[in-house]
Chain A
Amino acid sequence: MSIQVTHVSKSFGGFQALRDVSLEVGEGELLALLGPSGSGKTTLLRIIAGLEQPDPAPDVDVRFNGQSVAHRAVGGRNVGFVFQHYALFRHMTVFENVAFGLRVRRRRERPSRQEIADRVRRLLALVQLEAFERRYPSQLSGGQRQRVALARALATEPRILLLDEPFGALDAKVRQELRRWLRRLHDELHVTSLFVTHDQEEALEVADRIIVMNAGRIEQDGAPEDLFNNPRTEFVMRFLGAINLFHGRVENGGVRVGPMLLPQVDCALPEGQAARAFVRPYDLAVDRRKNGAAAMPAKVTRVQVTGPVVRVELEAAAGDVIWADLPHAQYRDLRLNVGEQVYVSPRNARVFAGDYRP
């Protein structure tokens, strides 16, 4: 089922959580709402679910498959909702939790006892918890609880699945497993899914499309690689992926950062304007010789060799701490020593000017 949200705003007392947000989610898509806490992503998800009402406005609407559901309560929207802290019913077994949505139906719409049992067992197999149906939530690990919560949400066969920071309360390793598992599950079921996260890695890894939110607005909407490679705003640049930040001024159509002059590629900025250049750590070359105008001296302060790349921490002349990620082979050829003077030169930089409001 597709989702259309138009002109939704929401304030809580004096706090404006959402400011005129519109978005569309296609049938079968897996979309991530990504943003820092307080950016409005959870509020937006809750409004789509019907757990929260948008502020009244003339053209505000939430539609599923083109049909407005704005006046339907959460129970009438046929959405599955998964909470960050699972919200499992602790006096019920795993089986009873998953069966809940079917058992509370009116008698006419309720499947038979046998059908309920079959469906619950099928779902428990899907989330790989067949052996746990008689356990209580208190007897499960965090990852298992979240899988029960997911099975419970899927039991009523929702046409939309909404997940609020589903892995937020889990430790790093379980998170990674569940991420991959959620992706596989989505590829199997193809139910339109939205999940909220503040973890950019999670969004980049799992989602088909990411909507980055900040201060109640949508900053950018696009495929993961699009957002990562072409951040349209400074906020997205800072939020997605690691960065080195250089403060400088516009000079001769480029950006002057200390002794280094970066050629500027995109729009023309007035001469002398303060600007910030962002360089990804893997876009920063390290060399012993000065290599053109776009280079600056720096001192190696720390080298971390464990990991997929070698992380070299450097101190620039101005005292700024920067870091560069080098492939292992290149690091071995360079034979860098801590305390050594080298030159860093960005291969690629993105420049933003003007005021920045985080």
Chain B
Amino acid sequence: MLPGFGLTLGYTVLYLSLIVLLPLAALLARSAAIGWSEFWAAATSPRVLASYRLTFGASLAAAAVNSVFGFITAWVLVRYQFPGKRAVDALVDLPFALPTAVSGIALTTVYSQSGWIGRWLEPLGVKAAFSPLGVTLALTFIGLPFVVRTLQPALADLDAELEEAAASLGASRWKTFTRVLLPPLWPPLLTGFSLAFARAIGEYGSVVFISGNLPMRTEITSLLIISKLEQYDYAGAAAIAVVMLVVSFLLLLLINLTQWWSIRRCQGGFAG
């Protein structure tokens, strides 16, 4: 075994316990304080169920949109040289750096009925702000850097010779893309997807402004938790949070398993 294993593993377990597991345990303890029927009632009231649907649905949609357009952005940033490339590259990180409330207000300004974009969408019958679409837009905004930043190094790693080899064997551009370039990019793409998805599930600040928080329609789960807390209903808030926790964990586990599987497929097990 490599030296330092015991020490570093011990540190890792301690660190994860203090920073991650302990607060989560407190959360579980809190929700366990109320009885099962009360827990169930708090976690599955119609308003809460609607918020689950919105939160997970919009997060999935946003992560999916980001996977496509983040892929294109990363592709352009890695493969082409053009003036202003560095500025565009820096722009990608902005959603990371901006306080979420600021992004929320900015997005609301742009997409509301009188906003720069909202004003053109309104006559088309598309209501962007104060609708599930607005929630998805905000979650897309904050998730973009995750996909771009995980894909960039993987794309830079792709050797130009691979494309030349495929071309010399008679493959069209499209077949070269789908059969040679894309397969090694699946694992980082899945990582980017799951990061963007995880971030979106927990998002609060940027969404509450653009969503309008209409009960049953545009309330996200984080907002419900906050409002329960404001009413001093700690147990109710904890119950909803536990459901979020379990579902998020299962979804992320599923995505990670898919990723392990695709990496295994990509590299063919162990070098022997």
Name A residues whose Cβ lies closer than 8 Å to a Cβ of B.
49, 51, 73-75, 79-81, 83, 85, 87-91, 93, 100-101, 104-105, 135-136, 138-139, 152-153, 155-156
Contact = CB atoms under 8 A, between A and B. Distances in A.
A136 B268 contact: yes
Given A91-B265, A156-B169, 19 more contacts: A49-B168, A51-B167, A74-B164, A75-B169, A75-B170, A83-B161, A85-B161, A87-B159, A87-B164, A88-B165, A89-B162, A91-B268, A100-B169, A100-B179, A104-B169, A135-B268, A136-B267, A138-B268, A156-B170
A90 B162 CA distance: 10
Contact of B170 (A90, A101, A139): A101
A51 to B, nearest CB: 5
B183 interface: yes
Given A90-B266, A139-B271, A100 B166 contact: yes
Given A100-B171, A105-B170, A139 B164 contact: no
24 contacts: A49-B168, A75-B167, A75-B169, A75-B170, A81-B164, A83-B165, A87-B159, A87-B164, A89-B162, A89-B180, A90-B266, A90-B267, A91-B265, A91-B266, A101-B169, A101-B171, A104-B166, A104-B171, A136-B268, A138-B267, A138-B271, A139-B268, A139-B270, A155-B169
Interface of B: 159, 161-162, 164-172, 175, 179-180, 183-184, 265-272
Contact of A51 (B164, B179, B183): B164
A139 B168 contact: no
Q: Mostly helix, strand, loop or mixed at chain B's interface?
A: helix
B162 A74 contact: no
Contacts of A105: 170
A215 B162 CA distance: 28
Nearest to B178: A104
Contacts of A79: 168
A63 to B, nearest CB: 19
A280 to B, nearest CB: 38
Contacts of B170: 75, 101, 104-105, 156
Contacts of A88: 165
Contacts of B270: 139
A89 B171 CA distance: 13
A152 B166 CA distance: 10
Contacts of B272: 139
A104 B167 contact: no
Nearest to B263: A91
Contacts of B167: 51, 73-75
Nearest to B163: A87
Contact of A90 (B172, B175, B184): B184
A322 to B, nearest CB: 43
Contacts of A138: 267-268, 271
Contacts of B161: 83, 85, 87
B151 to A, nearest CB: 16
A47 to B, nearest CB: 13
A73 B163 CA distance: 13
